[in-house]
Amino acid sequence: MIFKYKLLSEQLAVLKKTKRQYYKIYQDSCYRAYLRLYHNFRNALVDAILEFKHSTTPQQLISEFESLQLTRSLHMRETTFLDIIKECVPFILIEWLQSYLKDL
């Protein structure tokens, strides 16, 4: 699963460059691709947790995941979900996942 997202994250840089060169054709495609990749990543994590924790609701998990703020700009120094896909996992995400999966 992570390999698939890693490939998609590499495509975002190419998409950004293409968007700059051919803006009339692609317009806001990069932002939509970024959001689609983010939502797929988030949903994969939520589904994995729900597989083991049936007492938790998807809405609760999504809300908590969003509060981690992993969608910050790619140009900022904070970690984004793209960094996670590239195997740089922030402690805040590790702690969040462990809070749900520690009893397994």
Q: Longest Cα pair distance anywhere in the chain, in angstroms?
A: 52
Q: In which residue are the tokens 């691709």 written?
A: 33
Q: Using one digit for the tens of pLDDT, what is the confidence trace for 19-29?
A: 666 666 666 66
Q: Using one digit for the tens of pLDDT, what is the confidence trace for 34-65?
A: 778 778 888 888 888 888 888 889 999 999 88
Q: In which residue are the tokens 């609701």 written?
A: 57
DSSP conformational letter for 27: T
Helix segments in the chain, DSSP class H: 2-21, 23-26, 29-52, 58-67, 81-85, 91-101
Q: In which residue are the tokens 């970024």 written?
A: 34
Tell me the pTM.
Answer: 0.58
Q: What 3-state class would DSSP assign to 90?
A: coil
Q: Would you state the structure tokens that stand for residue 103, as one six-digit string?
A: 């009893």
